[in-house]
Amino acid sequence: MASTDQDISLSASETLAHARRVDAQRKTRARWILLSPALILIGLFGLMPLSITLVYSFLKPGSFGGVEWVFSLDAYIQFIAQRDIFDDTLSVNWSYLSIFSRSIGLSLGATIGALILGFPTAYFIASKPADQRNFWLFLITLPFWTNLLIRTYAMLLIIRDQGVINTGLMSLGITEAPIEILYTDTAVFIGLIYSYLPFMVLPLYASLEKLDLRLIEAAYDLYASRFRVLTNVILPLAKPGIVAGCILVFIPGLGAYITPELLGGGKKLMIGNLIAIQFGSSRNWPFGSAAALILMAVVMVALLLYVRHSAKEGHSHG
């Protein structure tokens, strides 16, 4: 009788375990079904073009565009070195490296400039009453209603020799001749900040909106100066927004095409313009693919370093 009860108990537990397995499989199958549209889109429009670019970067360029299906590392070698036409020796190719370094420098400078301008703006909006914040956010997002090309043309009209800035300075007698801004690195720098400033303001606002103002009052009650309150209270609490804003400005700024093309006049190339030229007039698809992958690798390394640093900080504080 006891063995019969034990058999019934085992049978019930096995049935329960089987039911749980079936339920887990059903939930897993439902998750994959729900995820499948997104995975298909990522595969078609993300992984497939990236795979084609990766394959093309290891091939030889065709005579009139396209590629020759011959394995070659010349595209990657060309980015950092150039071959002598007589003895086939390699020397450092500073042309492409200077374009790459200019891209990093301009996008990093634009990120810092956007942070300097965006932080007070976001703090101003977050300090307003709740019923007024939507209006100010509306003004920040208003430029997105216009195409980036139109906005860049508008900036071109402002900073050109006969633009608003130079006309105003000369009419006030501050300068006698127009200041040369257009078609310089300064113009590209200004254009990048103008284009991506909202990407800095919005994440900063999202962090500063949650800021407990009682902490600031407590810091002042403890006789902290404004600088100490900013550096020891506000900035640490706003760090997630600062990091998110810097990433959102730096990455698109690094691969910008329209801004350096119009405001730089084709003379101040960035890596995005270099890639476009290789797929366009130069018809060197392998080198364009290699340059695009190198750019993506630099961005990924920077993000991985940040994630690793954040993880270490989390463990140290935890």
Question: What's the pLDDT at 12?
Answer: 65
Do residue 20 and residue 140 come from a single domain? no
Q: How far is CA 60 from the centre of its chain?
A: 30
Per residue in 8-52, pLDDT (tens digit) is: 555 667 777 777 888 888 888 888 898 899 989 998 988 899 999
Residue 214 in any domain: the answer is: yes
Question: What's the pLDDT at 286?
Answer: 92
- Residues 268-282 have a mean pLDDT of 87
Question: What's the pLDDT at 214?
Answer: 85
Do residue 20 and residue 123 come from a single domain? no
Do residue 110 and residue 215 come from a single domain? yes
Residue 217 in any domain: the answer is: yes
Do residue 99 and residue 52 come from a single domain? no
What CATH number is given to the structural domain containing 197?
1.10.3720.10
Tokens 């397995």 found at: 21
Do residue 52 and residue 98 come from a single domain? no
Range of the domain at 195: 93-283
Do residue 27 and residue 170 come from a single domain? no
Do residue 114 and residue 19 come from a single domain? no
Total domain count, the chain: 2
In the listed set 10, 38, 56, which residue is the last one of a domain according to the structure?
Answer: 56
Do residue 162 and residue 104 come from a single domain? yes
Residue 289 in any domain: the answer is: no
Question: What's the pLDDT at 9?
Answer: 56
SS3 193: helix
Residues with Cβ within 8 Å of residue 151, at least 6 apart in sequence: 143, 194, 195
Residue 115 in any domain: the answer is: yes
Judge whether residue 316 has pLDDT over 80: no
Judge whether residue 314 has pLDDT over 70: no
Residue 279 in any domain: the answer is: yes
Do residue 235 and residue 150 come from a single domain? yes
Question: What's the pLDDT at 116?
Answer: 94
When pLDDT is cut at 50, 70 and 90, the band that residue 309 belongs to is low
When pLDDT is cut at 50, 70 and 90, the band that residue 124 belongs to is very high
Do residue 165 and residue 263 come from a single domain? yes
Do residue 107 and residue 216 come from a single domain? yes
Q: E-strand spans in 15-62?
A: 60-61
Per residue in 44-82, pLDDT (tens digit) is: 988 899 999 999 999 998 877 788 899 998 889 888 887
Do residue 142 and residue 50 come from a single domain? no
Residue 82 in any domain: the answer is: no
When pLDDT is cut at 50, 70 and 90, the band that residue 290 belongs to is very high
SS3 68: strand
pTM for this entry: 0.82
Provide the percentage of residues in the chain whose pLDDT is more than 90. Answer: 24
